[in-house]
Structure 1
Amino acid sequence: MDTIKQETLLGIDLSYAYTQISYQTEEMEQPEAFTEQEERALIPNLLFYGQESKKWYSGYEARQKRDEEQGSFFEDFDRKLKKEEKIMIEDTLYSYKQLFVKMLALHMKKLKISFQDARIAITSGNPDILFDELEDVKKWIKEKQCIIHRISHFTAFMAFVLHQEECSGTKGIGLLEYKKEGMAYHYLGRTPAGDMLQIQTIPLEERLELEQGESKDERFAKMLEKLFYQYKTPVVYLTGSEFDGDWMNETLKVVCRNRRAFMGQNLFTKGAFCFALEEGRKRNPKLLANGLCLYNIGTAITVNGQPRFAPVVEGGCDWYGQKGAVQFMLENEQKMEIIYQNLRTKEIEREVMVLHGMPKRPPMTTRVEVEAQYTSSKEGYLKIKDLGFGELFPTSHQIWVKKIVLKE
């Protein structure tokens, strides 16, 4: 039996302020978390260009070099990524998104590994960070053949859970996420039909309002008692910077009562790594969650005289880069049926798209290519290209494009 070569795999968790990386090469038996100074896993998102050294630096090294020589220092990407202006560095104009991607590439190069044919999953809790330009990291690490996946924290959480022994066979898994930006409880379970995984998100900020004379710990414990009664789970994970410190006493009693609890700050990094691992094996399951694609989009074709739904682009996943194409023969060369399949309700919606200007040909002599792509979780486009039918009926080179707007 032929052995399958182990890919180089990376899981990266991005925020505006920090980056975390988990990786594994062919020579490594287990994935490792990259750490910098004093074994810190959080790499600060800082970038510096030294005028004297003519070099770029990132992370802690950028902060150090800023104090040693003159140059251009970049931080606070939460504000700067929203700006359209460009910065001139040594006769080259950079947008802030390009600088952010360059910084990420410098972070990655610190691993001192080859990225040839690597599979890299980048996750973030902020969708605005997962912009299209992240694909350009391949240019900065000089490996155009590596594969980039952009995934949400929901997808990373699912991938992480499916790789944990303590979660095997468990019906529902909880995740408490507590950051400065807010707090939420995410519950991973199955849909009522039982055919798909789904994550339900419950915002918790309002439930944390303290009553007079009540401590944060007491309020937290009361809130969690009600929460766990409604969303029963034998396993719960806690993550987020606001869990740091020794303020949890009553809270931990509630969290650990009749369930296993785990706390850490690298869950999403590990989850991104697990996603990259399973995506190479085509084993990541479909998932329903806020911000993910809810619909399969396709058309109806005839196979052996029977109508069949042919998906062009599938839902149940993140929308970033979700694109597909199929080719088939049109039964009616003047129109095509578009089908939207809701994965949650199982409802089917149909729409007829008239192909104005399509040349008239005999039945089953018009071949078309249908391409569909998500541009957000609720929008996308459909593009239909006339391919003709060989030399008998040459293509007209016409293209029809339709914008898609999907319901909740």
Structure 2
Amino acid sequence: MNEVRNVLIGFEFNREFSQICYYDRKAEEPVCIPTKVGTNLYRFATAIGRKPDRNEWHFGLEAEYFGKKMGGIYLADLYERAATEMPTDEPVKEGELPRAWQLLAFFFRESLKLTGLKDIVAGVSKIMITTEKLDVILVENMRRALASIGFATEQYSLQDYMESFYYYSYSQRPDFWTRNIALFVFGGNTVQYHELSEQKALRPAVVKVESYDICQLPEDPSQRDDRFLEFAAKHMKQDIYSGVLITGDGFDTDWPQKSIRFLNRGKRRIFYGDNLFVKGACYAAYEICEKKAIKGRIYMSPDLLKTEVGMDMIVDGKMMFIPLLMSGKNWFEETGVCEIILDGKDDLTFAMVPMDGSARKLVKMELPDLPRRPARATRMRLELHCSSASECVITAEDLGFGGFFPATHLRWTKRVAFPQNVQE
């Protein structure tokens, strides 16, 4: 690896396999890291293993050897565990396996040794992890895993495959993204179609990725070619495409003949490879940290927070709207913490402001059992986070007012659904 400081990492965390790349500033592109020096083997199983009666975990071939051949433990379901097991701090009982986030930490720590960095935390400026889909359980397990390794919050980010597709596409030459971009994701005998489009007339320009149906492909090469051609032609009816991306297992250069000629119509640029998403994640890390060349566009991700949450407050004698959760970021990246002083009220009012300019919505949060005090004699701590792209959780805590009015530390929690019909 050519980089040794301020390293930018892309990490694909897949159900079956994972892979890592880093951004080479001299070559100005991501470079995939092989599992063994001098080979073209970049993917490794999303699994860890250990010897019998030992708590030292390994990944890759060592995991398989110790876990299977030596009669130890081999876990090939890390993704499922991380996606379904609610994280907890409860101690592990004797004889039980570690929590999902702890297993994930072992996996990340061991696999990141492929970078060759002596101190992975000190050497990495940003690691972007991409996976098929993000939800609150998977996000929290990955956060805990990365934090336990030693990564600070600003050192890592998460995104799904379609956001990596977005960053990969706009990191190519401009003639690749002048029009729509088609993406075909193969999975054995299936293929799914996705389409990236940009509404250039809007400011900022809005970029969307639409996902469509999955097509079953026959085994016979000739029939497979015909079926794929039919599927591609169904979705790409009009000649409004400047680029085509193909990724996944199940596609090779032998059987697609007629379908490739169709995809290449109008001299569209075509890219094929099984490293599209990991490279897209690496481009994203570079774009966020250094390049910032995609300004003027906003990717309307399903994970995007499309509503701003705030309060109308008196600041320096003037009524002002103070945002606590900012729109335009992924829901799992945005949190808000502040302290306020109540002005004779026993409830809180929050404003939901959609980013599309539609009318804001007011939401009241009652504070039952809050002690009665004079106006401006109650300090309140507010914590806000999102549980999804469509809902946030607000927690308020009574901090009292110094020695005059002791804190009760009563806590109130309210889940608030964001307004519907915000621009999709």
**TM-score normalised over the length of structure 2:** 0.77
Match of 2:33 in 1: 34
Change (3 A) 1:62 1:399: closer
Distance 2:225 2:34 in 1: 32
Match of 1:266 in 2: 275
Worse overlay, 179-188 or 277-286: 277-286
Match of 1:133 among 124, 141, 160: 141
Worse overlay, 255-264 or 59-68: 59-68
Q: What is the CA deviation profile of residues 284-307 of structure 1, one whole-angstrom value per residue up to 9, with x for unaligned ones? A: 764323344332222223457765
* Cα shift at 1:154: 2.4
Change (3 A) 1:359 1:130: same
- Does residue 163 of structure 1 match 2:168? no
* Cα shift at 1:67: 6.6
Distance 1:135 1:339 in 2: 29
* Cα shift at 1:194: 4.2
Match of 1:343 in 2: 355
Match of 2:212 in 1: 203
- For the Cα contact (< 8 Å) 1:335–1:355, is it kept in 2? yes
Match of 1:361 among 370, 374, 378: 374
Matches within 5 A, 1:246-257: 246-257=254-265
Worse overlay, 150-159 or 67-76: 67-76
* Cα shift at 1:90: 9.4
Q: Percent identity at matched positions?
A: 21
Distance 2:286 2:419 in 1: 32
The gaps in structure 1 that reach 5 residues or longer are none
Change (3 A) 1:27 1:386: farther
Distance 2:94 2:116 in 1: 26
Matches within 5 A, 1:292-303: 292-302=304-314
- For the Cα contact (< 8 Å) 1:292–1:318, is it kept in 2? yes
Matches within 5 A, 1:120-199: 120-127=127-134, 130-138=138-146, 141=149, 147-166=155-174, 170-180=178-188, 183-190=192-199, 193-199=202-208
Match of 1:115 in 2: 120
- For the Cα contact (< 8 Å) 1:337–1:351, is it kept in 2? yes
Match of 2:346 in 1: 334
* Cα shift at 1:202: 3.0
Counterpart secondary structure, 1:371: strand
Distance 1:216 1:26 in 2: 40
- For the Cα contact (< 8 Å) 2:306–2:355, is it kept in 1? yes
* Cα shift at 1:373: 0.3
* Cα shift at 1:370: 2.9
* Cα shift at 1:225: 3.0
Distance 2:402 2:56 in 1: 55
* Cα shift at 1:256: 1.5
- For the Cα contact (< 8 Å) 1:11–1:269, is it kept in 2? yes
Worse overlay, 159-168 or 40-49: 159-168
Counterpart secondary structure, 2:250: helix
Match of 1:405 in 2: 417
- For the Cα contact (< 8 Å) 1:12–1:272, is it kept in 2? yes
Partner AA of 2:355 in structure 1:
L
Counterpart secondary structure, 1:290: coil
Change (3 A) 1:352 1:72: closer
* Cα shift at 1:335: 3.2
Distance 1:333 1:286 in 2: 39
Worse overlay, 7-16 or 348-357: 348-357
Distance 2:217 2:25 in 1: 50
Worse overlay, 370-379 or 164-173: 164-173
* Cα shift at 1:331: 5.2
Partner AA of 2:22 in structure 1:
Y
Change (3 A) 1:185 1:298: same
The gaps in structure 2 that reach 5 residues or longer are none
Change (3 A) 1:227 1:307: farther
Partner AA of 2:164 in structure 1:
A
Distance 1:53 1:17 in 2: 25
- Does residue 280 of structure 1 match 2:324? no
Distance 1:79 1:147 in 2: 25
- For the Cα contact (< 8 Å) 2:179–2:241, is it kept in 1? yes
* Cα shift at 1:282: 9.8
Change (3 A) 1:141 1:381: closer
Distance 2:97 2:403 in 1: 49
Match of 1:12 in 2: 11
Partner AA of 1:116 in structure 2:
V
- For the Cα contact (< 8 Å) 1:121–1:272, is it kept in 2? yes
* Cα shift at 1:342: 2.8
* Cα shift at 1:35: 0.7
Distance 1:191 1:407 in 2: 26
Cα RMSD for the two superposed structures: 4.0
Counterpart secondary structure, 1:289: coil
Q: What is the CA deviation profile of residues 49-105 of structure 1, one whole-angstrom value per residue up to 9, with x for unaligned ones? A: 124987432112323445763422222445555479x9x999674235532431232
- For the Cα contact (< 8 Å) 1:177–1:240, is it kept in 2? yes
Change (3 A) 1:328 1:231: farther
Change (3 A) 1:168 1:6: farther
Distance 2:414 2:200 in 1: 31
Distance 1:376 1:338 in 2: 18
Change (3 A) 1:60 1:200: same
